[in-house]
Structures are given as C-alpha cells and as structure tokens.
Chains A and B, each alone.
Chain A
C-alpha cells in the first residue's frame, strides 16, 4: 500500500482525494467511476468507500485510487497526459498542485479507463500489456495506437495498476444481514396518508362552515 499522506491538508493540492470505481457483477462488465471522496489515509478511504458505494449492497467490487495516481488524456489526438488532480484544479480555478513525478519515469503496468458511451461514467477498459513509463503509455494510447483490437475513446484516464486498492470482501460488501428487524411493522404509510387527508378535509369543511356562520352573524348585527 502506498503512503497517502505527504502532510496533506484540506487546503493544499487535494492529495487526500480518492476516486472510487464500483462494479455490480450482475449488471456491469467492468468497474465504473462512482465518484470521489476525501480521506486522511488509504485505510479510511477504504472505509468511506464502503460506506458511500457499498452500504446498500450495490457493489461487489470497489476500486479506490488516490487521485495523485491518475493521469488524464483529454484528447487522444494528442500525446499529452495531465495529472488528474491538475485537470480538476484547473477547472476549479485553484492553485495548481505540483504533479507527482515519480510514476512518470517508472515503467509500470497502466490500467486504462475511458468513456464508452457519452453521458456514462468512465469505466475500466483494459490494462496495457507491458510495463511502460507514462510518456510511452501516453504515446501508445494516442498517436501510436499500436493495439488494434482495443477501443480508444477521446478521453482516457490511466493509473499504475499497483496503485489500485481493491475491496471485494463479501463480508463487508455483502454481509448476510437480515435487516427485516428494521421494518416498521404495522406502519402503513398509505393508511397514514389517507387518515391525514380525511382529517384535513373534515377540518377544512368545519372552517368553511365557521366562516359562513360568522358572516351570517355579522349580517344579523348590521341589519
């Protein structure tokens, strides 16, 4: 597991942001981007990911990736990859953080994410077959396009495969919970609404009668 904290605070570069991918094995072919969260370290990031993306048993698998480990290719026509945090901060017009240089140089297996359908979230597409450094990977995914049988959507994310923290523990994501005890037995919301409507309409009638009575009384007084 990588060290998440380099003295990160909420004010600085957003080192404490984690991107979360989720997969429901019955519905999804691959993990897709669910959203992100802030956590002071990777251990808490996993806890919170479970809380936000797995509490309702909606995921069989979660990938938690520190945003500092993700790079974005905004347009696959050009061999340029930005740190995702930089791209996010440019949009938010915050001060640009210093990109983490380490993974640029090292040859690693990159996992590639992309948008398959407009309007749908980014999803995992494939891992690059051989270890490459970031520049080589970027080249291959843009102008190089050496892999003929894989998709190249316009916008891609990539991260070192080893920086993905996977949570697929059934005990945490699909505990055999019998939550029937939480049902409110004997509390039928439709009945409650019907009673409330009847009460409010009978109150309304009473009020109307009351107004008429007052008017007649006033009439009697004035004549």
Chain B
C-alpha cells in the first residue's frame, strides 16, 4: 500500500484515471440521490408522524451526500452538481438497480434500506483508505450520519421481523411482507457490488482499496447472522474458494443461489427509474440555463 501515490486534488489525477474515477463518484452520488428521492416520498405518509420526520431527515441526509459526491465529480469533469443531478439522460446515471425500484410498502422500504445501509457501511469504510484524498475526506464527513441511518433501519427490521413479539398473539403479517420484499430485492441487492467500470485501473491506483467482489463478501459476512436470527431469506451457500483466486486464506465464499441482476453501473435501468427521472428532472429540463 505504501508504494501507492496519493492524489490530493482533481488536477493531479492522471488522464487515464479521470473517467473511471468520475464514473465511480457518480455511482456513489446516484445511489444516494435516487434512494434519497424515494425516502422523501414518505414525507406525510409514513406509518406514524415521528417516523415521517425521521424518514424525511434521512432523505435529506442522502441527498446531501449525493450533492457532495456530485461536486467532487463536477470538479473532475468540469461541470456543476445540478447539471449532473438533473441534466443527464437516464442511461448516463450509474446507480445500482436496487435503489431504482418504487418505494413500495413500508416493509419493502425497510428491507431495501437495510440492504443498502449495511452495504454502504462496508463500502464507505473501504473508501476511507482511498488514494484519492478528496474521496477519503468526504467519506469521513458523512460516515457518522450513515451510522445513524443504519441504527434506525436495523431497529425497524428487528421490529418487523417480529424479534420483539410483544403480545400473546404474534402477528406474522409484517414478517411475511418483509420476507416477500427481501425475496424480490436480493437479486438487485447483489447488484450493489457490480464491479465499477474500469475497476482494475482504480484498484491499481489505490483509489479502490478492495475489489467489489471482496466488499460483497465482507458485506454478506456482516449481515448473515441478522438474517439467520430473524428467519429472513439469505440466498447464499458457502463454498470453498476457487483454487485460482488469490484469496487462498479465506475458508469459504458466499455464492448466491439466485441469479443476481447487474447493469445499473453500466447505465441499464428499470422502468420505475424512467418514471422517476421524468418527474425529478421536469423542472430542470424546462430551462437548463435558468439561474435560481
């Protein structure tokens, strides 16, 4: 690690890394931005007023984080955060498909948020070691807020999974809804760790300290126990690592028993996102030159 030179400013990025790094930052920004948009839809209609406020506050945080990453990207490719957030065609967005789906019911929202927050937690930790110093610094700014999001979501997941069955007639509706939501979400969730474009270049330069595959494994290890305890679907089997991998030291790897859905990082998106895009960019597209 010590031989890797750090990059302190956007100007210092070698030309070959410019595009891959910009795309990486866009992926992070778009994930937060789109998820924040769906979270903000709970304003006014969350299960209880208190949750309404909590959800809106989390949405505000996510969109704030997106703005930070958009600004980092804008500094590299010479544009503005607004132009990146609202001025791109759908195929130019780089978020994972997990965050694109409609907010769904409350169990769906919590299930998705839990998958996302736990994955984001692993990802952000890894970025703290990034050779691109602006990224490492940004991550340390937002990580504390993400810790709180995760606590909030974990509490709700526990609650819906009935770990806290309260009265004598346990109601399984919440557990059933949560299970159904997770079953539909798992293929997309694995897509969160779809490799970034030109990931080898980013790894070589130390901008990524670990590969997406490694992060995916770390993430699954961090949540397996929770899913087991709450009797929730965890569609993976543990297999011996392939002999040609470098990671001989680890005893097993998680291998999905379902077909993961990839594509978000290459600009392939689902219909829900097309509709969201129409709506969220509507005002911007009326007059992209407007001064606000």
Residue of A nearest to B71 (CB): A181
Give the chain A neighbours of B54 by CB distance below 8 A. Answer: 47-48, 51
- Cβ of A51 and Cβ of B53 under 8 Å apart? yes
Give the chain A neighbours of B145 by CB distance below 8 A. Answer: 175, 177
Query: How many angstroms from the CA of A38 to the CA of B292 in the assembled complex?
Result: 39
**Contact pattern, B 126-153, Cβ under 8 Å of A = 1, otherwise 0:** 0000000000001001101101100110
Q: Which of chain B's residues 140-187 have a Cβ closer than 8 Å to chain A?
A: 141-142, 144-145, 147-148, 151-152, 155-156, 159, 164, 166-167
- Cβ of A181 and Cβ of B50 under 8 Å apart? no
Flag whether A219 is at the interface (Cβ < 8 A). Answer: no
- Cβ of B144 and Cβ of A181 under 8 Å apart? no
- Cβ of B144 and Cβ of A51 under 8 Å apart? no
Interface of B is mostly: helix
Flag whether B4 is at the interface (Cβ < 8 A). Answer: no
Q: Which of chain A's residues 36-69 have a Cβ closer than 8 Å to chain B?
A: 37-41, 43-44, 47-48, 51-52, 55
- Cβ of A181 and Cβ of B155 under 8 Å apart? no
| Selected contact of A175 from candidates B57, B71, B144, CB within 8 Å | B144
Residue of A nearest to B141 (CB): A178
**Contact pattern, B 57-68, Cβ under 8 Å of A = 1, otherwise 0:** 100000010011
Flag whether A7 is at the interface (Cβ < 8 A). Answer: yes
Flag whether B48 is at the interface (Cβ < 8 A). Answer: yes
Flag whether B49 is at the interface (Cβ < 8 A). Answer: yes
Q: A38-B50, A47-B151, A48-B50 are in contact. Are A181 and B166 (CB under 8 A)?
A: no
**Contact pattern, A 67-79, Cβ under 8 Å of B = 1, otherwise 0:** 0000000000000
Flag whether A171 is at the interface (Cβ < 8 A). Answer: yes
Give the chain A neighbours of B138 by CB distance below 8 A. Answer: 181
Query: How many angstroms from the CA of A171 to the CA of B156 in the assembled complex?
Result: 20
- Cβ of A39 and Cβ of B50 under 8 Å apart? yes
Q: Which of chain B's residues 12-48 have a Cβ closer than 8 Å to chain A?
A: 48
Q: How far is the CB of B208 from chain A (nearest CB, A)?
A: 22
Flag whether A172 is at the interface (Cβ < 8 A). Answer: yes
Flag whether A5 is at the interface (Cβ < 8 A). Answer: yes
Query: How many angstroms from the CA of A3 to the CA of B164 in the assembled complex?
Result: 10
Flag whether A6 is at the interface (Cβ < 8 A). Answer: yes
- Cβ of A7 and Cβ of B50 under 8 Å apart? no
Give the chain B neighbours of A48 by CB distance below 8 A. Answer: 50-51, 53-54
Q: How far is the CB of B137 from chain A (nearest CB, A)?
A: 9
Query: How many angstroms from the CA of A37 to the CA of B49 in the assembled complex?
Result: 9
Give the chain A neighbours of B156 by CB distance below 8 A. Answer: 44
- Cβ of B64 and Cβ of A181 under 8 Å apart? yes
- Cβ of A51 and Cβ of B159 under 8 Å apart? no
Q: How far is the CB of A93 from chain B (nearest CB, A)?
A: 21
Flag whether A182 is at the interface (Cβ < 8 A). Answer: yes
- Cβ of B155 and Cβ of A47 under 8 Å apart? yes
Give the chain A neighbours of B155 by CB distance below 8 A. Answer: 43-44, 47
Query: How many angstroms from the CA of A52 to the CA of B50 in the assembled complex?
Result: 8
Give the chain A neighbours of B57 by CB distance below 8 A. Answer: 51, 55
Query: How many angstroms from the CA of A7 to the CA of B169 in the assembled complex?
Result: 10
Query: How many angstroms from the CA of A12 to the CA of B145 in the assembled complex?
Result: 35
- Cβ of B144 and Cβ of A41 under 8 Å apart? no
Flag whether A176 is at the interface (Cβ < 8 A). Answer: yes
Q: How far is the CB of B69 from chain A (nearest CB, A)?
A: 10
- Cβ of B159 and Cβ of A40 under 8 Å apart? yes
Give the chain A neighbours of B144 by CB distance below 8 A. Answer: 171, 175-177
Query: How many angstroms from the CA of A47 to the CA of B147 in the assembled complex?
Result: 13
Residue of B nearest to A45 (CB): B50
Residue of B nearest to A43 (CB): B155
- Cβ of B48 and Cβ of A40 under 8 Å apart? yes
Q: Which of chain B's residues 70-116 have a Cβ closer than 8 Å to chain A?
A: 71
Q: List 28 A-B contacts (CB under 8 A).
A: A3-B166, A6-B167, A7-B166, A10-B48, A37-B50, A38-B48, A38-B50, A39-B48, A40-B48, A41-B159, A44-B50, A44-B156, A47-B152, A47-B155, A48-B51, A48-B53, A48-B54, A51-B50, A51-B54, A52-B50, A175-B144, A175-B148, A176-B144, A178-B141, A181-B64, A181-B67, A181-B142, A192-B292
Which chain B residues have a beta carbon within 8 Å of chain A's beta carbons? 48-51, 53-54, 57, 64, 67-68, 71, 138, 141-142, 144-145, 147-148, 151-152, 155-156, 159, 164, 166-167, 292
Which chain A residues have a beta carbon within 8 Å of chain B's beta carbons? 3, 5-7, 10, 37-41, 43-44, 47-48, 51-52, 55, 171-172, 175-179, 181-182, 192
